[in-house]
């Protein structure tokens, strides 16, 4: 073809200026192409009916946006005028159409959108004359398309013939775009391109991309065929070796696994699963990725102690002796453990089996009080294996139930892993820190743990990785937690809580003498060479260098002392005969805690309170200042809602007793009251600071100091009645550590004093109070009658 000076156009089809517009989804219609289509909806069926009775021409535009109501902005900018070639009504009320594209169109003006859209359109027709450049591009596109038809199994050969007979380069480009595996956006881009040369260049780029895709697919297919051929040859080679009596490593491995299955004495369901996996393994080449997965599964299945148990030693006297060797004091805890073992012994003697179905023991207390070591002592007393499973921070249910084998890197859950490490099906399994389980998007691990701990369900516990039941009823589960209120309620219902509140100074001294010092001397290489700590040094170490409920920090300090001694010994220096209290400054630096600095000097408006924390009891100070203002109550120190309510109750009580206490009633209107609890970065909540706040408030309003060596705890009502609180033992131990001499405690908590060590009760003067008036008398805040009259 030669370039024409005055370009001519192809004949323009008889297309009306105004057309009904039909939006279509998931398709692009090109001029000259056919499109089957199903139309539903009253408005669209009416559009087709009225068009079929008139010109049979409709405008078809691809819908590029979705929405409940039609809007012109939903449509692509370019569409196609389409002829209704065939129409058939469907039983459901819709219409099936066969459309043939006539020409590219664009909307010039929207006439209406109801009951269906109609628009004034402009028609774009490709020019009849073709330039040399366009002819060259058309020839290149034709050759490229014919090559792709030959290589692609999805394109019929007739398409190559149809492309060769295309009457115009523009129609050739449309034909290729309609039959290539292009995305809807790419097809719409071709439809939007009116210039024929640009359209052909665009199609050539798509042809090149399709050619590369076919090349990659062909290489992949060749690789698969090669692997299949190698597999067949390998199978033939194995058959030849079997006939010659030769075996290879793979066959030897299969034979070893078969022997292990025979010797493992697996339960019926587990054996069936093992034989099925072994059968798959036999047919699988060792280089296959699935081979390692199946082999690892068989190893886990065969390594589990299905029938391996340790024999229990239920000698109660020996058990008590072991508990006394491993732990000082904790009499109530030891007694409960001995009861637990006694029940198992009696059940075994009566032929009921040694597995008691009572609640799970859960040791609750601050860090360092010996919760984990108690579990180890139970295992030693019974003669069982001991396994610790850490649950702190676990938020994935699969950590308990295991991962499915379809996942990459799948493993059994922590329970099954622990049994595999123990090598027996009846170990003492310690579930450490059950209060720190959390819920993540992977599921609720606490819910999964219910199945593990429930004796009605754990006889057939199914780990997702193993996918066969395992009997957990012989396992002795023991749990630990720092606090009980964060344990999920359903889990807490299956547990018996045993509180370990902390140790007194005397108990810490004995623990250090019996356990901590010998252990640290051994760890630092100073068993027979290190100097001993005097009683005074140990007492000062406990009072001034540690401030904890347990003994973990105390052991670290003892270890630091003996490391200093080891360094001196290794350097050739002489060691002292003993370490006295005065030597601690040189070895450990200045003291970290002093009771007099903790409590400080007496002040107006400052009162010592007692608080419970997850790490044991602690002392806190409530400060109150009365400043000029207009009667506002200011609360600071990160107080929770309950503590704020206690502060308001304290103010109300003080106002109601203003006359008796010698307080000017106008102070509540002319002054602001600011209540602050120091350590503002630490959240605080609970009702037990009620009497402390009331006492500090009255001290500030009356201008009288309060002895800081008097500590108190209790909830106060509006009328001054004092209600009981919790954590009595922890709070009294904290008062003892801080150097408090007198503690005011609610009268109703008298029964809780039975749990308090005798040493703490001897060192503290415990005053039981029922009303706020008694508290004020103990603090010296009650105003005498003559003072009131003045």
Query: What is the set of active-site residues?
Result: 688, 731
Output the CA–CA distances (angstroms, integers) from residue 41 to 19, 45, 93, 254, 284, in the order listed: 19, 6, 8, 64, 55
343 Cβ neighbours under 8 A, 6+ residues apart:
356, 358
Q: Which of 554, 556, 538 is nearest to 546 (CA)?
A: 554
CA 48, CA 319: separation in Å to the nearest integer? 91
Output the CA–CA distances (angstroms, integers) from residue 299 to 304, 421, 429, 469, in the order listed: 9, 13, 22, 17
CA 188, CA 181: separation in Å to the nearest integer? 13
CA 279, CA 273: separation in Å to the nearest integer? 10
CA 254, CA 268: separation in Å to the nearest integer? 20
Cα Rg, the chain, nearest whole Å: 43
What letters, b where the CB count within 10 A reaches 16 and e where it falls short, cover 641-676? eebeebbebbbebbeebbeebbbeeeebeebebbbb
DSSP letter string, 746-776: EGGGGGGGGGS-HHHHHHSEEEEESBHHHHH
Question: DSSP 3-state assignment of 100?
Answer: strand
724 Cβ neighbours under 8 A, 6+ residues apart:
714, 715, 746, 748, 749
CA 123, CA 172: separation in Å to the nearest integer? 19
Spatial contact of 460 and 469, defined as CB atoms under 8 Å apart: yes
CA 111, CA 225: separation in Å to the nearest integer? 60
CA 499, CA 488: separation in Å to the nearest integer? 17
Q: Which two tokens stand for residue 163?
A: 């492309």
Q: Can you tell me which residue has the tokens 């299969």?
A: 254
What letters, b where the CB count within 10 A reaches 16 and e where it falls short, cover 237-247? ebeeeeeeeee
Q: Which two tokens stand for residue 666?
A: 């106008």
Q: Which of 254, 277, 274, 252 is nearest to 265 (CA)?
A: 274
297 Cβ neighbours under 8 A, 6+ residues apart:
277, 405, 465, 466
CA 364, CA 385: separation in Å to the nearest integer? 23
CA 222 to chain centre: 45
Output the CA–CA distances (angstroms, integers) from residue 469 to 11, 270, 306, 385, 718, in the order listed: 78, 8, 10, 22, 59
Q: 220: buried, middle or exposed (CB in 10 Å: 19+, 13-18, 0-12)? A: exposed
In sign, the C-alpha dihedral spanning 697, 606, 765, 785 is negative
Q: Which two tokens stand for residue 653?
A: 């009580």
Q: Which two tokens stand for residue 583?
A: 């030597």
Q: Which two tokens stand for residue 100?
A: 């043939």
Please count the other Cβ atoms lying within 10 Å of the Cβ belonging to residue 457. 14
Q: Which two tokens stand for residue 316?
A: 């109660």
Please count the other Cβ atoms lying within 10 Å of the Cβ belonging to residue 150. 10
Give the chain's end-to-end CA distance (angstroms, integer). 124
Question: DSSP 3-state assignment of 96?
Answer: strand
Q: Which two tokens stand for residue 705?
A: 């100091």
Q: Which two tokens stand for residue 505?
A: 């100074």
């Amino acid at each position: 073809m030669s370039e024409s000076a005055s370009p001519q156009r192809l004949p323009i089809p008889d297309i009306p200026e105004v057309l009904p517009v039909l939006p279509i989804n998931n398709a692009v219609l090109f001029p000259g192409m056919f499109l089957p289509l199903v139309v539903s909806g009253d408005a669209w069926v009416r559009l087709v009916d009225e068009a079929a009775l008139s010109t049979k021409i409709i405008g078809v535009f691809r819908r590029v946006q979705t929405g409940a109501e039609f809007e012109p902005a939903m449509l692509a900018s370019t569409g196609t005028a389409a002829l209704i070639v065939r129409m058939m009504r469907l039983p459901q009320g819709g219409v099936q159409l066969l459309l043939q594209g006539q020409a590219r169109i664009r909307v010039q003006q929207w006439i209406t959108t109801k009951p269906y859209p109609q628009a004034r359109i402009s028609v774009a027709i490709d020019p009849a004359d073709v330039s040399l450049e366009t002819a060259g591009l058309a020839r290149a596109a034709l050759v490229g398309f014919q090559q792709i038809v030959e290589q692609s199994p999805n394109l019929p050969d007739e398409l190559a013939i149809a492309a060769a007979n295309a009457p115009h380069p523009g129609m050739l480009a449309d034909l290729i775009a309609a039959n290539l595996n292009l995305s809807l956006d790419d097809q719409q881009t071709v439809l939007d391109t009116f210039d024929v040369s640009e359209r052909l260049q665009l199609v050539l780029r798509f042809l090149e991309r399709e050619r590369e895709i076919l090349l990659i697919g062909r290489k992949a297919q060749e690789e698969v065929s090669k692997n299949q051929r190698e597999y067949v040859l390998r199978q033939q080679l194995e058959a030849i070796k079997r006939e010659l009596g030769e075996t290879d490593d793979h066959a030897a491995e299969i034979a070893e696994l078969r022997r292990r299955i025979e010797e493992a004495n697996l339960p019926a369901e587990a054996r069936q699963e093992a034989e099925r996996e072994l059968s798959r393994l036999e047919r699988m080449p060792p280089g296959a990725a699935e081979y390692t997965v199946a082999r690892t599964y068989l190893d886990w299945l065969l390594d589990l102690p299905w029938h391996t148990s340790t024999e229990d030693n239920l000698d109660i006297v020996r058990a008590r002796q072991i508990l006394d060797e491993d732990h000082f004091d904790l009499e109530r805890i030891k007694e409960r453990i001995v009861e637990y073992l006694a029940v198992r012994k009696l059940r075994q003697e009566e032929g009921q089996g040694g597995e008691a179905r009572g609640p799970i023991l859960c040791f609750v207390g601050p860090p360092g009080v010996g919760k984990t070591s108690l579990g180890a002592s139970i295992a030693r007393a019974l003669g069982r294996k001991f396994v610790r499973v850490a649950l702190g921070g676990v938020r994935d249910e699969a950590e308990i139930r295991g991962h499915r084998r379809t996942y990459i890197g799948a493993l059994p859950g922590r329970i099954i892993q622990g049994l595999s490490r123990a090598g027996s099906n009846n170990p003492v399994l310690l579930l450490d820190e059950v209060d720190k389980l959390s819920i993540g998007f992977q599921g609720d691990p606490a819910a999964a743990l219910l199945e593990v701990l429930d004796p009605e369900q754990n006889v057939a516990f199914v780990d997702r990785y193993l996918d066969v039941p395992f009997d957990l009823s012989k396992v002795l589960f023991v749990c630990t937690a720092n606090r009980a209120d964060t344990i999920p309620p359903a889990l807490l219902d299956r547990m018996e809580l045993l509180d370990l509140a902390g140790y007194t100074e005397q108990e810490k001294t004995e623990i250090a003498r019996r356990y901590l010092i010998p252990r640290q001397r051994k760890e630092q290489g100073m068993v027979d060479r290190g100097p001993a700590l005097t009683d005074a040094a140990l007492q000062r170490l406990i009072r001034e260098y540690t401030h904890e409920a347990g003994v973990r920090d105390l052991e670290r300090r003892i270890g630091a002392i003996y490391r200093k001694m080891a360094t001196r010994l290794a350097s050739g220096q002489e060691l002292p005969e003993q370490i006295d209290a005065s030597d601690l400054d040189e070895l450990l630096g200045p003291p970290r805690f002093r009771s007099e600095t903790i409590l400080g000097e007496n002040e107006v408006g400052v009162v010592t309170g007692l608080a419970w924390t997850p790490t044991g009891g602690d002392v806190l100070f409530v400060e109150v200042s009365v400043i000029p203002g207009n009667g506002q109550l200011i609360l600071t120190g990160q107080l929770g809602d309950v503590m704020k309510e206690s502060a308001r109750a304290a103010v109300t009580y003080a106002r109601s007793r203003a006359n008796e206490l010698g307080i000017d009633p106008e102070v509540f209107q002319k002054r602001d009251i600011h209540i602050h609890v120091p350590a503002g970065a630490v959240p605080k909540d609970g009702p037990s600071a009620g009497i402390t706040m009331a006492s500090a408030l009255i001290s500030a309003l009356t201008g009288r100091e309060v002895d800081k060596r008097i500590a108190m705890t209790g909830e106060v009502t509006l009328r001054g009645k004092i209600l009981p609180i919790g954590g009595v033992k922890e709070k009294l131990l904290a008062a003892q550590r801080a150097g408090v001499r007198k503690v005011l405690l609610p009268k109703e908590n008298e029964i809780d004093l039975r749990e308090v060590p005798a040493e703490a009760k001897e060192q503290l003067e415990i005053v039981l109070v029922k009303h706020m008036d008694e508290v004020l008398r103990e603090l010296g805040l009650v105003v005498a009658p003559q003072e009131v009259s003045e």
